[in-house]
Chains A and B, each alone.
Chain A
Amino acid sequence: NAGVTQTPKFRVLKTGQSMTLLCAQDMNHEYMYWYRQDPGMGLRLIHYSVGEGTTAKGEVPDGYNVSRLKKQNFLLGLESAAPSQTSVYFCASSYIGVSTDTQYFGPGTRLTVL
Protein backbone atom coordinates (compact mmCIF):
# COMPACT_ATOMS: atom_id res chain seq x y z
CA ASN A 1 0.00 0.00 0.00
CA ALA A 2 1.93 3.03 -1.28
CA GLY A 3 -0.64 5.65 -0.20
CA VAL A 4 -0.28 8.87 -2.19
CA THR A 5 2.64 9.13 -4.60
CA GLN A 6 3.78 12.09 -6.69
CA THR A 7 5.87 12.22 -9.85
CA PRO A 8 8.38 13.81 -10.31
CA LYS A 9 10.00 14.72 -6.98
CA PHE A 10 11.98 17.64 -8.41
CA ARG A 11 11.79 19.63 -11.62
CA VAL A 12 13.39 22.74 -13.05
CA LEU A 13 11.59 24.56 -15.87
CA LYS A 14 12.29 27.62 -17.94
CA THR A 15 9.68 30.35 -18.19
CA GLY A 16 7.09 29.44 -20.78
CA GLN A 17 7.66 25.69 -20.68
CA SER A 18 4.87 23.31 -19.84
CA MET A 19 4.72 20.26 -17.62
CA THR A 20 2.36 17.86 -15.88
CA LEU A 21 2.58 16.67 -12.29
CA LEU A 22 1.12 13.25 -11.59
CA CYS A 23 -0.57 12.21 -8.36
CA ALA A 24 -1.62 8.61 -7.76
CA GLN A 25 -3.41 7.04 -4.80
CA ASP A 26 -4.14 3.38 -4.12
CA MET A 27 -6.65 3.84 -1.28
CA ASN A 28 -9.74 4.03 -3.49
CA HIS A 29 -10.37 7.59 -2.34
CA GLU A 30 -13.05 9.65 -4.07
CA TYR A 31 -11.65 13.08 -3.30
CA MET A 32 -8.29 14.41 -4.45
CA TYR A 33 -6.63 17.80 -4.01
CA TRP A 34 -3.67 19.82 -5.26
CA TYR A 35 -1.98 22.37 -2.97
CA ARG A 36 1.03 24.63 -3.24
CA GLN A 37 3.26 25.62 -0.32
CA ASP A 38 5.39 28.75 -0.43
CA PRO A 39 7.96 29.87 2.17
CA GLY A 40 6.34 31.41 5.23
CA MET A 41 2.88 30.48 4.05
CA GLY A 42 0.59 27.61 4.70
CA LEU A 43 -0.65 25.30 2.00
CA ARG A 44 -3.13 26.82 -0.43
CA LEU A 45 -5.66 24.81 -2.42
CA ILE A 46 -5.23 25.01 -6.21
CA HIS A 47 -7.85 22.59 -7.56
CA TYR A 48 -9.72 19.59 -6.26
CA SER A 49 -11.84 16.71 -7.53
CA VAL A 50 -14.82 15.01 -5.92
CA GLY A 51 -14.73 12.03 -8.25
CA GLU A 52 -13.61 10.62 -11.57
CA GLY A 53 -14.26 13.07 -14.38
CA THR A 54 -14.91 16.06 -12.09
CA THR A 55 -12.73 18.99 -11.11
CA ALA A 56 -13.26 22.29 -9.31
CA LYS A 57 -11.29 25.44 -8.56
CA GLY A 58 -9.69 26.12 -5.22
CA GLU A 59 -8.21 29.28 -3.78
CA VAL A 60 -5.38 29.85 -6.30
CA PRO A 61 -6.35 28.17 -9.62
CA ASP A 62 -4.97 30.68 -12.13
CA GLY A 63 -2.23 29.29 -14.39
CA TYR A 64 -3.07 25.66 -13.63
CA ASN A 65 -5.30 23.03 -15.17
CA VAL A 66 -6.24 19.62 -13.82
CA SER A 67 -7.75 16.38 -15.01
CA ARG A 68 -9.15 13.29 -13.29
CA LEU A 69 -9.63 10.71 -16.02
CA LYS A 70 -9.12 7.79 -13.65
CA LYS A 71 -10.22 7.61 -10.04
CA GLN A 72 -6.73 6.87 -8.79
CA ASN A 73 -4.94 9.66 -10.69
CA PHE A 74 -5.10 13.45 -10.49
CA LEU A 75 -2.96 15.46 -12.89
CA LEU A 76 -1.87 19.07 -12.46
CA GLY A 77 -0.74 20.91 -15.57
CA LEU A 78 1.18 24.11 -16.10
CA GLU A 79 0.69 25.28 -19.68
CA SER A 80 3.15 28.17 -19.61
CA ALA A 81 5.26 28.17 -16.45
CA ALA A 82 6.08 31.44 -14.71
CA PRO A 83 8.63 32.17 -11.94
CA SER A 84 5.68 32.85 -9.58
CA GLN A 85 4.83 29.16 -9.86
CA THR A 86 8.07 28.17 -8.16
CA SER A 87 6.78 26.26 -5.16
CA VAL A 88 6.39 22.89 -3.52
CA TYR A 89 3.29 21.11 -4.75
CA PHE A 90 1.41 18.61 -2.62
CA CYS A 91 -1.30 16.22 -3.64
CA ALA A 92 -3.76 14.80 -1.12
CA SER A 93 -6.70 12.44 -1.12
CA SER A 94 -9.56 11.61 1.22
CA TYR A 95 -12.23 8.95 1.33
CA ILE A 96 -15.61 10.60 0.87
CA GLY A 97 -14.83 14.06 2.14
CA VAL A 98 -16.88 14.14 5.29
CA SER A 99 -15.63 16.57 7.86
CA THR A 100 -14.16 13.84 10.07
CA ASP A 101 -12.07 12.34 7.29
CA THR A 102 -8.43 13.20 7.17
CA GLN A 103 -6.59 13.99 4.00
CA TYR A 104 -3.57 11.85 3.15
CA PHE A 105 -0.70 13.77 1.61
CA GLY A 106 1.96 12.82 -0.89
CA PRO A 107 5.65 13.70 -0.36
CA GLY A 108 5.56 16.75 -2.60
CA THR A 109 7.12 17.96 -5.86
CA ARG A 110 9.63 20.80 -5.69
CA LEU A 111 9.29 22.92 -8.83
CA THR A 112 11.63 25.74 -9.80
CA VAL A 113 10.81 28.01 -12.73
CA LEU A 114 13.73 30.07 -14.00
Chain B
Amino acid sequence: KQEVTQIPAALSVPEGENLVLNCSFTDSAIYNLQWFRQDPGKGLTSLLLIQSSQREQTSGRLNASLDKSSGRSTLYIAASQPGDSATYLCAVILGWGAQKLVFGQGTRLTINP
Protein backbone atom coordinates (compact mmCIF):
# COMPACT_ATOMS: atom_id res chain seq x y z
CA LYS B 1 0.00 0.00 0.00
CA GLN B 2 1.34 3.38 -0.97
CA GLU B 3 2.18 5.64 1.95
CA VAL B 4 3.22 9.27 1.75
CA THR B 5 5.10 11.00 4.55
CA GLN B 6 5.93 14.67 4.95
CA ILE B 7 8.60 15.94 7.27
CA PRO B 8 8.57 18.18 9.20
CA ALA B 9 4.96 18.42 10.34
CA ALA B 10 5.46 22.11 11.12
CA LEU B 11 8.11 24.64 10.24
CA SER B 12 8.60 28.26 11.31
CA VAL B 13 11.19 30.48 9.63
CA PRO B 14 11.91 34.20 9.38
CA GLU B 15 10.90 36.10 6.28
CA GLY B 16 13.39 36.04 3.44
CA GLU B 17 14.82 32.60 4.10
CA ASN B 18 14.96 29.86 1.50
CA LEU B 19 13.42 26.61 2.68
CA VAL B 20 12.81 23.02 1.65
CA LEU B 21 9.80 20.83 2.38
CA ASN B 22 10.20 17.09 2.09
CA CYS B 23 7.89 14.36 0.86
CA SER B 24 8.64 10.64 0.67
CA PHE B 25 6.61 7.76 -0.72
CA THR B 26 6.98 4.03 -0.31
CA ASP B 27 6.17 2.73 -3.80
CA SER B 28 8.00 4.20 -6.80
CA ALA B 29 5.26 3.04 -9.20
CA ILE B 30 3.56 6.41 -9.42
CA TYR B 31 2.30 8.34 -12.41
CA ASN B 32 2.84 11.85 -11.15
CA LEU B 33 3.36 13.83 -7.98
CA GLN B 34 1.61 17.03 -7.07
CA TRP B 35 2.15 19.75 -4.47
CA PHE B 36 -0.83 21.64 -3.05
CA ARG B 37 -1.28 24.60 -0.77
CA GLN B 38 -4.08 24.73 1.81
CA ASP B 39 -5.02 27.92 3.62
CA PRO B 40 -7.01 27.71 6.88
CA GLY B 41 -10.68 27.06 6.21
CA LYS B 42 -10.10 26.81 2.49
CA GLY B 43 -9.77 24.09 -0.10
CA LEU B 44 -6.59 22.95 -1.78
CA THR B 45 -4.86 24.86 -4.54
CA SER B 46 -2.50 23.10 -6.92
CA LEU B 47 1.02 24.54 -6.96
CA LEU B 48 3.06 22.19 -9.12
CA LEU B 49 2.52 18.87 -10.84
CA ILE B 50 5.55 16.79 -11.80
CA GLN B 51 5.06 14.06 -14.36
CA SER B 52 6.85 10.78 -13.68
CA SER B 53 9.16 11.37 -16.64
CA GLN B 54 10.24 14.75 -15.29
CA ARG B 55 12.68 15.54 -12.54
CA GLU B 56 11.51 19.00 -11.61
CA GLN B 57 9.01 21.79 -12.18
CA THR B 58 9.29 25.50 -11.46
CA SER B 59 6.74 28.22 -10.91
CA GLY B 60 7.96 31.60 -9.75
CA ARG B 61 9.72 31.18 -6.41
CA LEU B 62 8.71 27.53 -6.17
CA ASN B 63 10.69 24.58 -7.43
CA ALA B 64 9.65 20.97 -6.97
CA SER B 65 11.88 18.00 -7.66
CA LEU B 66 11.08 14.33 -8.02
CA ASP B 67 13.34 11.29 -7.58
CA LYS B 68 11.18 8.24 -8.19
CA SER B 69 13.94 5.73 -7.56
CA SER B 70 14.51 6.98 -4.03
CA GLY B 71 10.83 7.76 -3.40
CA ARG B 72 11.40 11.43 -2.64
CA SER B 73 10.21 14.86 -3.64
CA THR B 74 11.16 18.28 -2.36
CA LEU B 75 9.46 21.66 -2.60
CA TYR B 76 11.91 24.54 -2.52
CA ILE B 77 10.58 28.00 -1.67
CA ALA B 78 12.93 30.89 -2.36
CA ALA B 79 12.90 34.20 -0.51
CA SER B 80 9.97 33.26 1.70
CA GLN B 81 7.23 35.81 2.46
CA PRO B 82 4.54 35.96 5.17
CA GLY B 83 1.97 35.25 2.46
CA ASP B 84 3.58 31.84 1.98
CA SER B 85 2.26 30.77 5.39
CA ALA B 86 -0.05 27.81 4.81
CA THR B 87 -0.13 24.03 4.95
CA TYR B 88 1.65 22.34 2.06
CA LEU B 89 0.50 18.90 0.98
CA CYS B 90 2.12 16.52 -1.44
CA ALA B 91 0.20 13.79 -3.19
CA VAL B 92 1.22 10.94 -5.45
CA ILE B 93 -1.06 10.14 -8.34
CA LEU B 94 -1.72 6.47 -8.95
CA GLY B 95 -2.95 5.56 -12.35
CA TRP B 96 -4.57 7.09 -15.36
CA GLY B 97 -8.27 7.81 -15.60
CA ALA B 98 -9.90 8.50 -12.28
CA GLN B 99 -7.03 10.03 -10.41
CA LYS B 100 -6.37 8.26 -7.17
CA LEU B 101 -4.37 10.65 -5.08
CA VAL B 102 -2.58 9.51 -1.95
CA PHE B 103 -1.80 12.47 0.27
CA GLY B 104 0.83 13.11 2.87
CA GLN B 105 -0.13 14.62 6.23
CA GLY B 106 1.12 18.06 5.24
CA THR B 107 3.68 20.55 6.54
CA ARG B 108 2.31 23.62 8.31
CA LEU B 109 4.58 26.50 7.33
CA THR B 110 4.76 29.82 9.20
CA ILE B 111 6.81 32.71 7.84
CA ASN B 112 7.55 35.28 10.52
CA PRO B 113 7.86 38.95 9.46
Contacts and interface: CB of A to CB of B under 8 A. Distances in A.
B98 A97 contact: yes
A58 B32 CA distance: 19
B32 A99 contact: yes
A105 B91 CA distance: 14
B103 A102 contact: no
Contact of B96 (A40, A41, A45, A97): A97
B100 A4 contact: no
Interface string A87-114: 0001010100111111101111000000
Contacts of A105: 43-45
Nearest to A40: B105
B97 A103 contact: no
B89 interface: yes
A27 interface: no
Contact of A107 (B4, B42, B101, B103): B42
A107 B91 CA distance: 18
A27 B32 CA distance: 23
Q: Size range of the interface on B?
A: 20 to 34
A103 B4 CA distance: 18
A60 interface: no
B99 A31 contact: yes
Given A42-B103, A102-B34, A48 B98 contact: yes
B101 A43 contact: yes
Contacts of A45: 100-101
A91 to B, nearest CB: 9
B51 interface: yes
Given A90-B44, A99-B31, A99-B51, 6 more contacts: A40-B105, A42-B104, A94-B99, A98-B96, A100-B51, A108-B42
Interface of B: 4, 9, 31-32, 34, 41-46, 49, 51, 89, 91, 93, 95-106
14 contacts: A31-B99, A42-B4, A43-B89, A43-B101, A50-B98, A90-B44, A92-B43, A97-B98, A99-B31, A99-B95, A100-B32, A103-B101, A105-B44, A108-B42
